[in-house]
Amino acid sequence: MLDASNTPRKLVEVSGLKMYFPIHAGVLRRKVGDVKAVDNVSFHIFEGETLGLVGESGCGKSTCGRAILRLYEVTDGIVKIDGKEIAKADREALRKMRPTMQMVFQDPQASLNPRMTVASIIGEPLDEHTKLSKKEKLERIYELMDQVGLNRAFANRYPHEFSGGQRQRIGIARALALNPKFIVCDEPIAALDVSIQAQVVNLLEELQERLGLTYLFISHDLSMVRHIADRVAVMYLGQMAELAPREALYARPKHPYTEALLSAVPDPDPTLESERERIILKGDVPSPANPPKGCNFCTRCPKVMEICHSVEPTFEEVAPGHYVACHLYQSNSQNAGATGASEARKEHIQQGEEA
């Protein structure tokens, strides 16, 4: 979608988002530290686009999505959706904003009340936020069921009577009930069979085109993200490592962590698959309660430099629309005196050009 000036409008703006969970210990349960699940994350999502958010398990993807919708009380940062501040809004103001933003949860079985019928589940947001008559509400429920491909005759059935894919369609219908502009899809296909995953993704794409929706699509399935996303953001240990347009990121990844992630995606061509070089990361992911000093990837990075252990890289734009937090590409003065940094940077860039 484009506004009058023919440039995309930023529907979602996230700046310096932090989501810390306190650690308590001892008999008196005193606070002894924080789990830094999301640590100083910034990005934006244009109206009508899909931003894919990827990373390994435990990197903070789902926490980030929930914090953006204020399902958690944000530790710090600014979150604006459709121009309205979410992170610090009071309860009444937040309630009025809820119809604009919704969520599709990872496990459809866990996110649907087993004691409620399909009609009651889909109609619950209408009960809370509208004053529709009983007849109008039922018509809206049937309309939503039609949109997601559910038979109207199933309206009085319970969630346990449906397959995983059908349950996820119920969750999508519930999310659409209030005509939202922005939907966080938190690994919506992770709990589904492979044969059903494509159906759900195609449904999400069809609904986006028809209703003008904006998605934050959280997933660890890099192949599916490549199919659905316009831009892709990569998270590691609570921080943003790289963000770029889809094709640029998959063809020319810049952050060593992104390179390692993409090297794990199998190629359908057996010849190319046999020639593909896997990047195996050594060591374990550090604890988000005690992240490394400097770059949070320095303990596992195959291209680590001396500066990486002491100075945290900034999240900078290194090409049009391509952002990365890595000392290999830093342009600020803090790298000017780093031993071997410029040489390593040149060598890495030359290797990328040769590839």
pLDDT digits (tens, 9 = 90+) for 276-327: 778 888 888 899 999 999 999 999 999 999 999 999 999 999 999 999 999 9
- On average, the pLDDT of the chain sits at 88
Across the range 320-340, mean pLDDT stands at: 70
Which amino acid is it at 25?
A
> How much is the pLDDT for 331?
63
Higher pLDDT, 343 or 279: 279
User: By the 8 A CB rule, do 284 and 329 touch?
Assistant: no
> How much is the pLDDT for 267?
74
- Cα separation of 252 and 239, whole Å? 20
183-242 tens-digit pLDDT: 999 999 888 888 888 899 999 999 999 999 999 999 988 989 999 999 999 999 999 999
Q: Is the pLDDT of residue 125 over 70?
A: yes
Q: Which of 246, 168, 186, 182 is nearest to 215 (CA)?
A: 182
92-112 tens-digit pLDDT: 999 999 999 999 998 888 889
> How much is the pLDDT for 107?
86
Across the range 256-262, mean pLDDT stands at: 93
CB neighbour burial string for 90-111, b if at least 16 within 10 angstroms, e if fewer: eeeebeebebbbbbbbbbbeeb
DSSP 99: G
Q: Which residue has the tokens 């290999």?
A: 328
A 10 A CB-CB count for 332 gives 11
Q: Per-residue confidence at 27, pLDDT binned at 50, 70, 90?
A: confident
User: Coil, strand or helix: which one is 159?
Assistant: helix
User: Coil, strand or helix: which one is 67?
Assistant: helix
What's the token pair of residue 123? 């109609």
Tell me the Cα Rg of the chain.
Answer: 22
> How much is the pLDDT for 180?
96
42-63 tens-digit pLDDT: 999 999 999 999 999 889 999 9
Q: Is the pLDDT of residue 348 over 60?
A: no
Higher pLDDT, 170 or 265: 170
Q: Per-residue confidence at 84, pLDDT binned at 50, 70, 90?
A: very high
DSSP 319: E
User: Coil, strand or helix: which one is 262?
Assistant: helix
User: Coil, strand or helix: which one is 226?
Assistant: helix
